[in-house]
Structure 1
Amino acid sequence: MPYALTCTLHLRRQVQLLSILTVFSVIKAGHVTREGEVRWQLFNECSQGMLQTYLGRVNTRGFSDRHCLTEFHVEADFYGAIRLQHAQSRKYLCFNKRQRITLRFNGDSERCYFYERINHSGYSELESAWQPRLFLGFNGRGRFQSPDTYHVKRRCFYWLKFVRYVPEEELHHCEIRKPVDQHVRLEHTNMAHNALRNSLLNQIRATHDGPYKHQDQENRNGTYSL
C-alpha cells in the first residue's frame, strides 16, 4: 500500500477514535464539563442521502440539516461493537431474524450491535456483530439493500460518517411530545356533552313558566298543545 494512503487511513482512524472518546467526557480549560453524547450522521454513497428514521421507517433519503431525523447516538461496548440509537425516537437500529433492518426500543440483542470497518477507500462499513459478513446497505432509492448483494453493489454499503457532540442542555431537543391521554380527553368530551344536554332540557322542560306547560293545565284551560 502506498505510504501516503497508509498515513491518510491512519489519520482517519485516529480522528474516529478521538470522536468515540468524547462519549465519556469533554475536556475544557482543564475541567470536565457536563455530560453529553456523541451522535453520528451516516451518508450513504449509493443513495447520496443521510440514514434517517421517519414515520417508523428506515431509509437513506435524509438531509444533513434535519438533525432529529438523521442523528444517531453512539453507544460502544468493551469489545469495540457499537449500537446506534435514533436521536428522536430513541429506538435502536437492529437486524431482525430475516436479516432486514428494523427499530427496537430494547437494544440488548446481539442483532443491534455493529462493528465499524474502514475499507481501503476510507469509507466506513457497518458489519453486524450478530453474523459475520452481514453488512448494512441501502440502494440508490434509499431503500434497504439485501446483504447478499454486498460483493455486487459494494458502493451501497459505503458510509461517510459525520460526528457531532451534543451537550447536555440539547439532549432532549428531539424528543417527541407525549400524546394526550385519550381516556382523559373522552371524559372531558362526555362532561361537555352532558352539560349541553342538561341546558337544552332545562329550556324545554314543562314548567309553569316554561314554553311548554303541563298537559292537565292545558286541558283545564280548554286548549290542547300539539
Structure 2
Amino acid sequence: MPGRLDGKVAIVTGGGSGFGKAISAKFVAEGAKVLIAEMHPESGVAVAKELGCESIQADVTKRDHWQKVLQKSIELYGGPDVVVNNAGTCYSSKPSHEVTDEEYDLTMLVNYKSIYLSVAEIVPWMKENKKGGSFINIASSGAIRPKPNLTWYCGSKAAVNAASRSLAQEYATNNIRFNSVCPQFADTGLSHRFLGKPNTPENRAYFMSLIPLGRMTDVTDVANGCCYLASEEANYVTGTELIIDGGRCA
C-alpha cells in the first residue's frame, strides 16, 4: 500500500529527539524522504541511521545554516515539499521577572526567528521550483492557554501561531500552506524545564490531572497530526492551529 507521504521530501528541524524524532519516524514510515536538521550532530546521525534517512548539523537560528539545509535537501532529494519547524527551547519555569536576557533571547531566536529564516530561504525556492508546499510550525498549547512562570516561552509560541496564520494568507496563491501544531505537555528532553523541577511521575501528576483525556501527550500524537497536515488529505487546510492536548484548552 502506498504511504500517505509517498513522493514528498521533508525537512524536520530538531529531529534528533522528542517530537522531532517521532515526526521523522512517522514521515519515513509513510513514504517521505526526510532530512533531519539537528543542532547536535551525534543524535541527528544516530536517528537518521535508525530510520534510514539523512541528517545535517544545523543551528536553525543562523541564516547560512538554513541555506546549507536547503542545498542539502536539493542535492539529496530534489528539494523540500514539507518543512517542519520543530526545533524549540524553553528556560526553566520561574517568575517572569527573573528570566535573564540570555534566556529570553535564546527562546525567541530558536522558537520564532528560526521560522522567519526558514521562510526567507525556502519559500523563494518553493515558488520557483515547486507547485506548492507545506510548512508545519510546532507551537504549544501554552500559546492558546498561557501558563504562569513561562510567560516569554508562551509568548514566543503565540507569535508562531500568529505568523503561521499571516503566512498562510500571504502565500496561498502560491499553494504554500502554513499551519501550526499546539501540543500539551509531553515527556521530552525539555520536560524538566516546563515543570521547573525534576521530571518524575509525582511532579507530572498535577499536569495530568488537568487533562480531560487523562494522560500526557505522547510524541506519536504530534507526529500523527503533522503527517495529516503534510499529506494531500490536508490540501485545503491552511492557517489553522491543530491543538493536540487531550482537551486541556477546550
Normalised to the residue count of structure 1, the TM-score between the two structures is 0.24
**Which structure shows the bigger proportion of residues in helix conformation?**
2
Greater C-alpha Rg: 1
Normalised to the residue count of structure 2, the TM-score between the two structures is 0.23
